[in-house]
């Protein structure tokens, strides 16, 4: 039985039993109203990978506020990049009997069992931004990650990379998004005769590994025209390392997330582009879905499709990412209120 319905039944039963006890007459007057108030609070458990990357703090703040506006409470957990810790946190939320669990997984392949435990306890599970493979999820909500890679690739081609050479410095190989982004990117490279000189990954999205790569592979880097970076945090480290080699602004660099520093680098000319993912839309829509699922209702809406995660066909809400270059910075990032103009152009006279 769904947890939320079970909770309502327990509360009704308790109210009925109390009504039978002499001296509890007051409950007859207030019992219904107070009972309703109690059951209307949905408890959402939300598990994050970590808050090291700028965007996740925004995801958390918007999600928590949106949930609050819908009458729900959010119990936020962060595993600081530790997979075992994330499993423990999910277990804790199951024991706490929350109404729904929302997960930004660290390892897309290691949570099927935790999700099964939650489902066993009647708790629906949402995979937020990153897919959890082979798990019986109630929803996967994310941006079109393959398109993120396509946008990175197209920007490089627009900037003249056709027939040139690129290095790929991707994010955590345990994050399902990483291969999707790279698939989208390499397809554009193949279509345009770009040679991929090397592909490397930064375990746990540790950005320092990206600059280390640039220092340790100075000759290869000197030979390339472009470096595709999995996100803006990696791009920041790469641009700093390129600057030491007098190559910043000469090698085309991409990222994603529209982090403030990346937007600054774009208008200053050391990063070619980023991919803006309207996190506000993601967090608000996810909060709405979490509340629906927490109440025991299915997720509904024209934007709900489906996707396979290996073992299951999962309801999928797919959101559109936006390419951001120097040309459309003002319209895409500043116009949407994501960053302030004075912050983005702080170093530009």
Tell me if 205 contacts ligand BGC by CB under 6 A: yes
Residue 334: CB minimum distance to ligand BGC, A = 20
- Its sign, for the CA torsion 4, 133, 139, 233, is positive
Residue 199: CB minimum distance to ligand BGC, A = 17
Beta carbon nearer to ligand BGC, 99 or 257 = 257
User: Quick one: tokens of 138?
Assistant: 């109630």
Tell me if 55 contacts ligand BGC by CB under 6 A: yes
**β-strand pairing of 313-319 with 304-308:** antiparallel
Residue with tokens 């554009």, as numbered in its chain: 188
Binding mask 231-270 for ligand BGC (x = CB under 6 A): x------------------------xx-------------
SS3 for 253?
strand
Tell me if 53 contacts ligand BGC by CB under 6 A: yes
Tell me if 201 contacts ligand BGC by CB under 6 A: no
Beta carbon nearer to ligand BGC, 291 or 322 = 322
Cite the DSSP H helix spans in 121-175. Answer: 145-158
Tell me if 175 contacts ligand BGC by CB under 6 A: yes
Binding mask 142-171 for ligand BGC (x = CB under 6 A): -----------------------------x
Name the residue among 24, 56, 60, 81 with its Cα closest to residue 205: 81
Residue with tokens 């002499």, as numbered in its chain: 22
| CB-closest chain residue to ligand BGC | 231
With helix as H, strand as E and coil as C, how does 100-124 read?
EEEECCCCCCCCHHHHHHHHHCCCC
Beta carbon nearer to ligand BGC, 149 or 171 = 171
Q: Using the rule CB under 6 A, which residue among 43, 59, 107, 129 binds ligand BGC?
A: 129
d(CA 13, CA 18) in angstroms, rounded, equals 9
User: Quick one: tokens of 191?
Assistant: 């279509």
Residue with tokens 């980023």, as numbered in its chain: 274
Tell me if 177 contacts ligand BGC by CB under 6 A: yes
| Backbone phi, psi, residue 259, to 5° | -55, 150
Residue 227: CB minimum distance to ligand BGC, A = 16
Residue with tokens 């959101």, as numbered in its chain: 319
* Residues near ligand BGC, by CB under 6 A: 53, 55, 129-130, 171, 175, 177, 205, 231, 256-257
């Amino acid at each position: 039985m769904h947890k939320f319905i079970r909770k309502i039944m327990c509360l009704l039963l308790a109210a009925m039993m109390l009504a039978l006890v002499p001296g509890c007459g007051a409950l007859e007057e207030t019992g219904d109203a107070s009972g309703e108030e109690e059951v209307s609070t949905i408890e959402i458990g939300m598990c994050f990978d970590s808050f090291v990357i700028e965007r996740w703090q925004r995801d958390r703040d918007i999600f928590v506020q949106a949930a609050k506006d819908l009458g729900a409470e959010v119990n936020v957990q962060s595993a600081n990049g530790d997979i075992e810790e994330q499993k423990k946190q999910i277990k804790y939320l199951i024991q706490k009997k929350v109404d729904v669990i929302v997960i930004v997984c660290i390892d897309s392949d290691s949570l099927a069992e935790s999700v099964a435990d939650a489902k066993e306890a009647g708790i629906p599970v949402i995979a937020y931004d990153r897919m959890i493979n082979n798990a019986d999820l109630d929803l996967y909500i994310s941006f079109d990650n393959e398109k993120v890679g396509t946008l990175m690739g197209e920007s490089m081609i627009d900037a003249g990379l056709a027939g040139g050479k690129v290095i790929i410095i991707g994010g955590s190989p345990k994050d399902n998004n990483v291969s999707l982004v790279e698939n989208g990117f390499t397809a554009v490279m193949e279509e345009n005769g770009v040679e991929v000189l090397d592909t490397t990954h930064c375990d746990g999205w540790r950005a320092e590994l990206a600059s280390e790569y640039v220092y340790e592979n100075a000759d290869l880097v000197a030979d390339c025209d472009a470096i595709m970076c999995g996100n803006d945090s990696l791009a920041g480290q790469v641009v700093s390392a390129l600057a030491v080699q007098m190559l910043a602004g000469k090698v085309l660099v991409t990222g994603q997330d529209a982090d403030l520093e990346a937007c600054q680098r774009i208008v200053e000319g050391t990063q070619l582009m980023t991919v803006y993912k309207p996190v506000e839309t993601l967090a608000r829509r996810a909060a709405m879905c979490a509340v629906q699922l927490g109440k025991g209702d299915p997720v509904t809406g024209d934007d709900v499709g489906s996707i396979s995660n290996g073992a299951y066909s999962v309801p999928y809400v797919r959101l559109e990412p936006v390419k951001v270059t120097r040309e459309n910075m003002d319209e895409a990032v500043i116009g949407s209120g994501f960053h302030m103009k004075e912050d983005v152009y702080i170093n530009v006279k």
